[in-house]
Amino acid sequence: MPQFDAYSFSGQVFITLSGFYFFYFFSLHFYLAKLSSVFKMRQKLISNFIKDVDSSLVSANSFNFFIK
């Protein structure tokens, strides 16, 4: 059977593994760098939003304290 011929099978395995390695390192270099920057920006926005909400709650609580 031709698909189990050692001469052609080893070449197919080599080409397949080289393609996967190329795709893996290409995506790691380009897409993972962009994805990590998106996650860093998202984390900064979330932390800034939490700080803003905490500061507004503190000012709202101090305002309610003076009303009572």
4-34 pLDDT tens trace = 777 777 888 899 999 999 999 998 888 888 8
Q: Is the pTM of this model over 0.75?
A: no
- Rounded to whole angstroms, the Cα distance separating 57 from 46 reads 16
Average pLDDT in the chain: 78
Nearest to 61 by CA among 33, 53, 14: 53
- pLDDT score, position 19: 95
Alpha-carbon span 4 to 68, nearest angstrom: 86
3-state helix, strand, coil in the chain (%, to 5): 95, 0, 5
Find where tokens 């001469």 sit: 7
